[in-house]
Structure 1
Amino acid sequence: MSYIQIVNLWQTYGDHVVLERLNLTITQGEFCTLVGASGCGKSTFLRLLLGQEAPSRGSLLLEGKLLAQEPDITRGVVFQRYSVFPHLCVLDNVAIGLELRDARFLGRFFGRRKREAREAAAQMLHRVGLGHALDRYPGQLSGGMQQRLAIAQAFIMQPRILLLDEPFGALDPGIRKDMHALLLELWRETGLTVFMVTHDLSEGFSLGTRLLVFDKVRNDPQAPNAYGARITYDIPLNSERLTPVSATVAPALFPDKDIA
């Protein structure tokens, strides 16, 4: 059975058709890069996968079941604008996700569980190169460091699907190269299924195991919103990076930690 299935997916806003007739099958562990002109529905597609929006027509299936139509812990997301908490230090920015997930009534851990959550967060931050900045605040970090922090926030939650919306678009070329290497390393370790929107075609080709090109195949000058975008090219890439992933595999960055 395929891991993710997109079946006759449409997304419309009134008479504005953004996406139409999307049909797609994704295998667990694939790294899908999404490219196309601005406004052709790439970010809309990510919001549908995240559960921020419900499709106007069609369905999204995860292992044969309808994908929950609201964000949950199965899906992590990293945006171009750094989604970090400015009033929390780097360590607490990462540890808070574990607390909000597992301390359902108070939203906070105490005692041993608090220490273990902070230890797991510190380990994740060392993995992304921020071990020296645990006590700093986001405003004291460079753009590249803030994006590393956002990636740590996503990976600490051990999602099944990672969604990236132009995460490196605002970074300098040298920093982007370092972030590419970090992302690929974490992806290989965790076996996550990744969808990444990018406007940089070379980035899409170099990172992905599959390149999905979004474009409108029909246009009417008299009614520019009448037709939506489809996936016009589906190109396999870098197949040597793919390894079989068991359905029971979960991200294993912290195999010795149990803080639930």
Structure 2
Amino acid sequence: MNQNNKLSIEDVYKSYGNKLVLDNIDLKVAAGELCTLVGPSGCGKSTLLRLLLGQEFADAGSIIIDGAPARHPDPHRGIVYQKYSLFPHMTVFDNVMAGSRLSKQAWYLPWKRDKDDEAFAISMLERLRLVDAMRKFPHELSGGMQQRVAIAQALMSKPPLLLMDEPFGALDPDTREQMQIYLMELHEEHKLTIFFVTHDLDEACYIGTRLLVLSQYYTDDRGEEPTVARGAKIVGDYRLAREALPTTEKSSAYFKAFVEQVRANGFSPNNRCHVRDFNLKHPHSFQTLTREENQF
């Protein structure tokens, strides 16, 4: 594995019963990337995230994180869900500190104060503009504030890989845009490696440094008979801007045209690209096709 690769996925398959969801997935992600993952409904975006977390396991293939196989969830992988997943009986500060406590000691041991961790927690709350709310409880916060707390909680253990599953999906448009900016700033400041799943194509094209399109809408040389089991593949892999862009970029003609190009290439059941012609433009893209998939 390349020393700069944070994540390596090769020949990964995942089925539920007779339904093949993920079909021969290949992906390498360098440290410091903010990868956004999009795709049609039901393509397996959250399934892939659960495999990275270790919540589920692939039927075949390998998932390597920092040179070791991905196993059960551990502090090396932070997770932020769409639902804020905060402890309702804890203050904002204690919720954030819980991210450190749970990564360093068993939950049943007495809570030991760590001044360095407390200083880091306060600095993050200041950075996320939450320091004035640090003694409040989750029910006293807006949705955007709760999600910022959840992000701070996940960052307390300084995970090498941060996984985010539709983290802004329940927010109103203004709060969502604020959170997009916060995430891009945090990514730039802390050089995080982030895997961000979203159903919002504009969001994915805006915040990421790399855009991945997972789709079940493609063709290959296995044919179109009903007996052919075909799951989703990464049909698009695009290199995006390395620096955070102003929100006005979303209104530019170039941005809108790019979004529509991605939508046409991966979201339409009537526009199926052959596996040999996938739009894999990122320099780290690679693809391992079986003989049945590519007979030429």
Which of these residues, 22, 45, 61, is aligned with residue 58 of structure 1? Answer: 61
1:14 Cα deviation after fit: 1.9
Larger Rg: 2
TM-score, normalization by structure 2: 0.75
Q: How many residues align?
A: 237
- Percent of aligned pairs with the same amino acid: 46
Structure 1: stretches of 5+ with no match in the other structure: 242-260
Q: Is the 8 A contact 2:188 2:243 kept in 1?
A: no
Task: Note if 1:34 corresponds to 2:25.
Answer: no
RMSD: 2.0
Q: Contact 2:9/2:62 (CA < 8 Å) preserved in 1?
A: yes
Note the C-alpha offset of 1:35: 0.6
- Structure with more relative contact order (C-alpha pairs < 8 Å, separation 6 or more): 1
Residue 72 (structure 1) aligns with: 74
Matches within 5 A, 1:1-260: 1=2, 2-67=5-70, 69-104=71-106, 106-110=108-112, 113-216=113-216, 217-218=218-219, 222=226, 226-240=229-243
More moved, 232-241 vs 17-26: 232-241
Write out per-residue CA displacement over residues 180-231 of structure 1, whole angstroms, 9 at most, x where no aligned residue. Answer: 111111111111111111111111111111111111125968469x321000
CA distance in 2, matches of 1:95, 1:71: 19
> What one-letter code is carried by the residue in structure 2 that aligns with 1:231?
I
Aligned mates of 2:94, 2:66 — CA distance in 1: 34
Describe the SS at the equivalent of 2:98.
helix
Q: Which amino acid aligns with 2:48?
A: F
Residues 123/239 of structure 1: CA separation in 2 closer, same or farther (3 Å cut): closer
Cα pair 1:100 1:108 within 8 Å, conserved:
no
| Deviation larger for 118-127 or 203-212 | 118-127
- Distance apart, 1:166 and its partner CA: 0.8
Amino acid at match of 1:195: F
Q: How big is each residue's C-alpha offset from its partner over 1:57-103, in whole Å with a ceiling of 9 and x where there is no partner?
A: 00011233312x11111111111111100111111101122222223
Change (3 A) 1:44 1:99: same
Provide runs of 4+ in structure 1 moved above 6 Å: none
Gaps of 5+ in 2: 245-296
**What TM-score, normalized to structure 1?**
0.85
- Secondary structure of 1:157's match? coil
